[in-house]
Structure formats: structure tokens, C-alpha cells
């Protein structure tokens, strides 16, 4: 009995896709119905005494209904570790056993082999309609016995291999996660220390961000540390990789380690040659076979500085690219530049002197380089754009699909007579460019709603978002994005009611930060199923006499009162919160600020986050969380 045509084709495809020439035995192994699939000259791990050899596994005759054995083998059988494993104190390969009669009837002859029993398919059983031999091969090389594909060529982690992943690369984390990582690792000084963290991607148009989420601390014995080096056990790496695989195809791994102060001086925020050497061998194991994930590595210096880079599987194999910054979010936004940062200070700092006296040179530089998105170009949106440009923000993006009307002028900044009948965002751009104090200053405008699929993708490029929309529905994706993609968002809204004598009998304007550490719009009940349903129903189901924010259509002719001072008040509250989020001008960030009339009262919400709310469970989920686009037509 020879191998089936289906099995022969599967071996051919494995050879083409893996880059190694695999052979299959003409007959099954004696007393079995298993065929031997193997390749010669396959690279082994650098820790082994032999650099390359035979790698293979056995496949049943009724493939793909039956999957390959849950193991694999290598030759020669006398392959050892170059140095004893720091945990087991042995040079024998872990979980490897010598077996006779494993490869009879193959071109290898009747020779013993080292078999690795790793239970490759116990987490997710073999699926005959989905899995291929390449999947099995990927499982095998991840289980550390064999070297990964493309390991014959050196990877220079300081330069991208092929095209870069993105124009900008950030690594981001909630503040709580970042503080836990840095505090625990630095506490182990003067020895180096490390941990692995599971990651999620957040891919915009210009920027790709690797989001740090679950910390997988090493167990006792999994890391051997000294003031000058780390030894990470294979068991720790395997445990982490299993966790990433179980968490989903887009989940990657980040290695964070320290360069502590030692007898040689302060630790330096720069990957050492040993770091480069080690990661060139580690990350192929972590990224190959997982093309939808992005992994990363971070080094923490004793000075507080950082360096970072990302790793992924590209068309030419394993790729690396330097990261430009690390963001720690919640509630405030901390941005730590790496040596590869593109940030530059204002070209004429004297222009910003009075502001610099409040938030310092670092604050001035931060505003100069922040990218802020503004959704909505009406009363609050136009004032936000004007203020952000005036105070020195260097990059603005604005969305609005509406055309400027004459009746917009009394409450909207920047709309002159010549702009009537033209898109609002063009007027905003002209106005912002005329008052901008950042140098250089750029503003991109989009004649569309910011919560379309394209708009939401571009918002991932932003550091902060201003939500200046009229309706509730578009707040849903913006609220989700603030927590899942770690982008602080400032939401503002106003309503006013007048009595029959045209006196204001109730007024409210609010500014609310959505960011990890602060209850979200659902917790505050700005959003609820009820208000979204009512908004969607419009004038149906006995809601024809209600408008947004609960005003009587009979009293207002379907249009709410809106005046510039009220819009300016709401925007002013949001701008104060923006300064707190971006520059931390006080000790804490308020939850939700509201101003009321006729009480003339400023109130801060004290509502806590709801148990198991998305603002707690979705932090850092990135692109693994589905966020539905919303049209504001």
C-alpha cells in the first residue's frame, strides 16, 4: 500500500509553502499504517550541538480524515544541548526520547530517532476540513525542537525586513498594566528581569499599535537572572505560546526585560548585541505560522527610558521594525519616546512662552506632536478645532459631511459668508491654519462622517479624540474605541430649554472623558438601549413629539436652541480635561463634568463603573474587538 494521491499532494504543498523539500516513504512503517514524512538539512535551534539534520513526522494512510501523530522526530539521535538547561541541569533535550523502528520503510533506513512527544493537537483537535500538513509543521517548530523557517539568514532587528509594517509604530498599554510591569520588574534590580505579555493589534492608516494586555509572569525556575544576563527556559516560552494560540489568531507576544543599574553604571535603553542575538532566535518561534498577529519586545532602562520594536511574519519571513513610542493610557496619556522617535520640538519655542510656563518644554513638545481627531464640525466641533490649533496642537484631523449654511454662522466658529454652501470642514481647515501656533502644523479634513469604516480606521492613528457629534448612535463606536484601542476620547454635549417667556428654565452642558480608569458612556447612562432605540424610532411609536435630549418639538419647531456661549462653555470644560489628559496639570482627571442652569452649578459625576462593563473587560482588545461603523445620515 502506497500513499494516497491526496497525501502526496499535501506533502508537495508542504514543501512549497515551508521552503524545505519533504519526502514521503513509499510504504507504511512496519506493523503500522503510518507514512514517514521528512526533510534533511533542516536548521535546528542554536542551543543544540548540531546545527541541522533530519526533521519529520508520521502521517496515517487515511489523511486528512486522520491527522498526523501528536509528535515529531529529529536525527541524528546524539543531538544534545550545548550547555545544561538552567532548570533541569541537563544537556539532554527536553521531552525527547530515543526510539527504534520509528522510520522503517523510509529513505532514512532502520535507524533510531529522537521523538518529541508534545501533544500538539490537544488544545484544538485536528480538523480534517481545515487543517493541513503545514499547520502540523507550524505546531512542530513552535514546540522548539526544530529551527524556524528562514533561520538560515540572519534577521537584523534594527532594520525592517522588506517593507515596514507601518509609517508609525507604537506600543500601548493601560496605565495599570504598565505600572504593574515596570514596578515588578524594576524591583528585581540589580538583577535583570523579564516577563511576557499577550498582545493585540490596532492598525490604522498610518500607525500600527501593539496593545499589551495579559501579563504572564514567570513561574519559579522559569527564568535565571543575574545583573548582566537572563536565561529564559523553554518551558516558559512554550507556556506563553500556548496561551497566545489559545487566545486567538491575532494574539501576539511581547517580551519585556530590564537593563538595571549595575556595577557598570546606569542601564541603557538600547537593545544589546546579546538581546539582538537572542531575539533573532526567539521571535521566529513566536510569529511564524501566525500571520495575523504582531509581537513585540521592550527594554526598560534604570533611568526610565525605553526602547522597543515589533516582530511579525511578512512575505520574506520574520520581520522587525523599531517602535517610535510607548503609550500608557488611563485616565491620562503618558507617551514615552524611544530612540527611534520622530518627534521634534516647536521650531520657534519663543512663540509658546506663556503656555510653556505652565506645562514646560516637554508639554510644549507633546502638543506639537500630538495627533487629535475631531468628529463633527458644528458648534462644539468648530470651537474645539479653533482652540486646539491656537493652543499649539500640531496635527489635527476633522470629519463632517454637512455643508455650511447661513444659519450656522451665529454659533459656529470660522464660517464666513464665503463658506456658506461649502463643506464645513473646509472652513474649519482655513480657520485653523490661520490661527495655528504649532510649527509645523497640519490639518486633514474629510467630507464624511468619522464613524464610517474608513473613518474608524483612520481614528486609530490619533492620540486623542474629540466627540462633537449630535446623535447618540455614533457615540457607541467612539466609546468602544476609547477603551479597546486605548485612545482617550472627550465627549461633549449640551441642551437648553426655554419657557413660554423665552427664559431659560433648564440648561445642561457636559464634558466626559472616556479612558481606562474612568467609567464609560454606558456606565454614566449617556448611552443606553432606551435612548438608542428612541433615536432610531424617530417620530414613530408615539415618539413624534420628542427630539434628542428630550425637548418638545412643538415648543422648538423640531430644532433645539443653540447659542455660542453654551457651546463655548462645554468646549471649555472639554479643553480643561484635554489639558489634564495630555499634560496632567492636576493630580487627577474628573469623571464627567456637568454645568446646570438655573442652579449655576458645576457637578462631577460619582457613578462607578458597572460590574463587567465593556470599559473594564475590553481594555486593550484592539482589532480583536468588532466595532460596528455608524452612519449619521
Which range of residues forms the domain containing residue 480? 349-624
Q: Cα–Cα distance between 21 and 3 in angstroms, integer?
A: 17
- Same-domain check for residues 492 and 411: yes
- Same-domain check for residues 330 and 354: no
- Same-domain check for residues 527 and 416: yes
DSSP state of 539: T
Q: Which residues of 172-204 are buried (b: 16+ CB within 10 A; e: fewer)?
A: bbbbebbeebbeebbeebebbbbbbbbbbbbbb
- Same-domain check for residues 380 and 506: yes
- Give residue-wise pLDDT tens across range 254-296: 999 999 998 778 999 999 888 998 999 899 999 999 999 999 9
- Same-domain check for residues 211 and 272: yes
Distances in whole angstroms, Cα of residue 91 to Cα of each of 48, 71, 83, 87, 208: 9, 21, 6, 11, 41
Among 45-54, 154-163, 361-370, 494-503, the range with the most confident prediction by mean pLDDT is: 361-370
**Is the predicted pLDDT of residue 539 greater than 70, yes or no?**
no
Within a domain: 430: yes
- Same-domain check for residues 217 and 192: yes
Q: Which three cell numbers stand for residue 69?
A: 501523530
- Whether 165 and 313 have beta carbons less than 8 Å apart is answered as no
> Into how many domains does the chain fold?
3
- Same-domain check for residues 559 and 462: yes
Domain boundary among 142, 176, 196: 142
Among 14-18, 338-342, 408-412, the range with the most confident prediction by mean pLDDT is: 338-342
Say what the pLDDT of residue 153 is: 35
Average pLDDT of 598-614?
Answer: 88
Within a domain: 444: yes
The SS3 of residue 100 is coil
- Same-domain check for residues 314 and 385: no
DSSP alpha helix (H) spans, 505-608: 529-537, 553-556, 564-583
CATH of the domain at 219: 3.40.140
Within a domain: 149: no
Find how far residue 432's CA is from the centre of its chain. Answer: 31
- Same-domain check for residues 83 and 175: no
- Whether 516 and 619 have beta carbons less than 8 Å apart is answered as yes
- Give residue-wise pLDDT tens across range 315-336: 878 999 999 999 999 999 999 9
- Give residue-wise pLDDT tens across range 413-436: 888 888 899 999 999 999 999 999
Within a domain: 158: no
- Same-domain check for residues 360 and 390: yes
Within a domain: 147: no
Region of poorest pLDDT, from 87-91, 107-111, 457-461: 87-91
Beta carbons within 10 angstroms of residue 435's beta carbon: 15
Within a domain: 124: yes
- Same-domain check for residues 17 and 86: yes
- Same-domain check for residues 536 and 389: yes
Within a domain: 150: no
Measured in residues, the chain has a length of 633
Who contacts 587 (Cβ-Cβ below 8 Å, separation ≥6)?
A: none
- Give residue-wise pLDDT tens across range 64-74: 878 888 889 99
Categorize the per-residue pLDDT at 542 as very low, low, confident or very high, splitting at 50, 70 and 90: very low
Q: Cα–Cα distance between 255 and 246 in angstroms, integer?
A: 18
Amino acid at each position: 500500500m502506497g500513499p494516497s494521491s491526496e497525501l502526496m499532494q499535501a506533502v508537495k504543498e508542504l514543501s512549497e509553502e515551508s521552503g524545505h523539500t519533504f519526502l514521503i516513504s513509499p510504504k507504511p512503517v512496519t506493523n503500522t499504517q503510518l507514512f514517514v514524512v521528512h526533510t534533511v538539512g533542516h536548521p535546528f535551534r542554536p542551543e543544540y550541538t548540531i546545527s541541522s539534520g533530519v526533521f519529520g513526522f508520521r502521517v496515517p494512510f487515511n489523511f486528512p480524515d486522520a491527522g498526523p501523530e501528536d509528535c515529531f522526530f529529529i536525527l541524528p539521535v546524539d543531538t544534545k544541548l550545548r550547555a545544561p538547561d538552567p532548570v533541569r541541569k541537563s544537556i539532554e533535550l527536553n521531552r525527547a526520547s530515543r526510539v527504534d523502528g520509528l522510520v522503517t520503510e523510509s529513505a532514512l533506513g532502520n535507524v533510531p530517532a529522537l521523538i518529541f512527544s508534545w501533544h500538539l493537537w490537544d488544545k484544538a483537535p485536528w480538523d480534517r476540513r481545515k487543517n493541513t500538513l503545514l499547520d502540523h509543521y507550524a505546531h512542530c517548530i513552535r514546540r522548539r525542537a526544530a529551527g524556524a523557517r528562514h533561520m538560515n539568514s540572519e534577521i537584523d532587528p534594527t532594520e525592517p525586513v522588506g517593507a515596514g509594517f507601518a509609517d508609525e509604530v507604537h506600543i500601548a498599554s493601560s496605565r495599570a498594566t504598565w505600572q504593574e510591569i515596570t514596578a515588578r520588574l524594576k524591583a528585581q534590580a540589580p538583577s535583570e528581569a523579564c516577563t511576557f505579555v499577550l498582545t493585540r493589534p490596532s492598525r490604522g492608516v498610518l500607525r500600527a499599535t501593539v496593545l499589551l494586555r495579559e501579563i504572564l509572569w514567570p513561574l519559579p525556575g522559569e527564568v535565571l537572572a543575574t545583573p548582566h544576563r537572563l536565561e529564559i527556559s523553554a518551558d516558559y516560552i512554550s507556556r506563553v505560546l500556548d496561551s497566545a494560540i489559545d487566545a486567538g489568531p491575532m494574539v501576539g507576544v511581547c517580551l519585556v526585560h530590564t537593563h538595571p543599574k549595575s556595577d557598570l553604571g546606569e542601564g541603557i535603553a538600547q537593545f544589546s548585541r546579546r538581546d539582538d542575538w537572542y531575539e533573532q532566535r526567539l521571535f521566529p518561534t513566536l510569529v511564524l505560522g501566525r500571520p495575523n498577529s504582531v509581537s513585540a519586545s521592550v527594554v526598560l532602562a534604570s533611568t526610565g527610558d525605553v526602547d522597543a520594536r515589533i516582530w511579525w511574519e511578512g512575505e520574506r519571513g520574520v520581520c522587525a521594525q523599531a517602535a517610535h513610542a510607548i503609550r500608557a493610557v488611563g485616565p491620562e496619556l503618558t507617551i514615552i519616546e524611544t530612540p527611534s522617535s520622530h518627534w521634534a520640538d516647536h521650531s520657534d519655542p519663543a512663540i509658546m512662552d506663556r503656555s510653556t510656563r505652565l506645562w514646560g518644554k516637554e508639554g510644549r513638545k507633546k502638543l506639537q506632536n500630538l495627533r487629535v481627531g475631531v468628529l463633527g464640525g458644528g458648534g462644539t466641533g468648530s470651537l474645539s478645532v479653533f482652540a486646539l490649533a491656537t493652543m499649539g496642537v500640531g496635527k489635527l484631523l476633522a470629519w463632517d459631511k454637512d455643508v455650511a449654511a447661513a444659519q450656522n454662522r451665529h454659533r459656529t466658529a470660522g464660517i464666513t459668508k464665503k463658506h456658506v454652501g461649502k463643506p464645513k470642514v473646509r472652513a474649519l481647515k482655513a480657520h485653523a491654519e490661520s490661527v495655528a501656533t504649532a510649527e509645523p502644523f497640519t490639518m486633514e479634513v474629510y467630507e464624511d462622517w468619522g464613524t464610517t469604516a474608513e473613518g474608524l480606521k483612520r481614528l486609530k492613528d490619533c492620540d486623542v479624540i474629540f466627540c462633537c457629534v449630535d446623535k447618540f448612535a455614533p457615540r457607541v463606536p467612539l466609546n468602544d474605541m476609547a477603551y479597546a484601542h486605548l485612545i482617550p476620547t472627550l465627549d461633549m454635549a449640551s441642551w437648553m430649554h426655554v419657557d413660554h417667556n423665552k427664559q431659560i428654565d433648564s440648561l445642561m452642558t457636559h464634558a466626559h472623558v472616556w479612558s481606562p480608569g474612568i467609567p464609560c458612556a454606558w456606565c454614566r447612562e449617556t448611552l443606553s438601549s432606551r435612548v438608542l432605540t428612541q433615536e432610531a424610532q424617530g417620530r414613530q411609536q408615539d415618539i413624534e413629539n420628542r427630539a434628542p435630549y428630550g425637548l418638545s418639538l412643538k415648543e422648538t419647531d423640531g430644532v433645539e436652541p443653540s447659542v455660542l456661549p453654551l457651546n463655548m462653555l462645554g468646549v471649555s470644560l472639554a479643553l480643561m480635561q484635554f489639558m489634564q489628559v495630555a499634560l496632567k496639570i492636576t493630580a487627577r482627571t474628573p469623571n464627567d463634568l456637568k454645568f446646570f442652569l438655573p442652579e449655576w452649578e458645576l457637578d462631577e459625576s460619582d457613578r462607578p463603573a458597572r460590574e463587567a462593563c465593556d470599559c473594564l473587560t475590553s481594555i486593550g482588545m484592539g482589532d480583536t474587538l468588532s466595532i460596528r461603523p455608524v452612519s449619521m445620515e
